[in-house]
Amino acid sequence: MKIKIVNTSNNPLPEYKTLGASGMDLLANNEQPITLKPMERTLVPTGLFLEIPLGYEGQVRARSGLSIKNGITLVNCVGTIDSDYRGELKIPVINLGDEAFEIKCGDRIAQLIIAKYEWCEWETVDSVEESHRGTGGFGSTGV
């Protein structure tokens, strides 16, 4: 599958780094370094504009290394890029770490996964089928 992309940054296009990779690194495209203090959040520009085909979505996810080493993650956990969105891809990051963190142009800040999705139709009914789990949730299956 090919996805149309406009790259207004000086960074290379997102790419898969290994044969088994599902995500491509997204690089920051900020003119000046961004310093995020603990618990601060911001939108990091990428300079990328995508035309994702109908039936697919872009999923923006945190980079595990940044999360575990520095506490840098996404404000919304996983961001969704709908197929009809044409604005610049910006990454909503938050610093959950104990120290300020600097984001420089070209830093790998998140990862992008392209995924197929299905639309559904609702069928209104009076009840849903019982299951073994039933109404148990929020830790009901164990620790």
Q: What is the pLDDT of residues 129-141, one digit of tens each?
A: 998 888 877 877 7
pTM of the model: 0.89
Closest CA to 61 of 21, 30, 97: 21
pLDDT grade, residue 10 (50/70/90)? very high
Pairing status of strand 56-61 against strand 78-81: antiparallel
Q: Does residue 64 have a pLDDT over 70?
A: yes
pLDDT digits (tens, 9 = 90+) for 84-138: 999 999 999 999 999 999 999 999 999 999 999 999 999 999 999 998 888 877 8
**Could you tell me the two tokens for 59?**
């999923």
Q: Does residue 54 have a pLDDT over 80?
A: yes
- Topology of domain 4-12+23-116 in CATH is Deoxyuridine 5'-Triphosphate Nucleotidohydrolase; Chain A (2.70.40)
- Residue 143 pLDDT: 62
Residue 85 one-letter amino acid? Y
Average pLDDT, the chain: 95
DSSP, residue by residue, 66-110: HHHHH-EEETTSEEEE-TT--S--EEEEEE-SSS-EEE-TT-EEE
- Domain ranges for the chain: 4-12+23-116
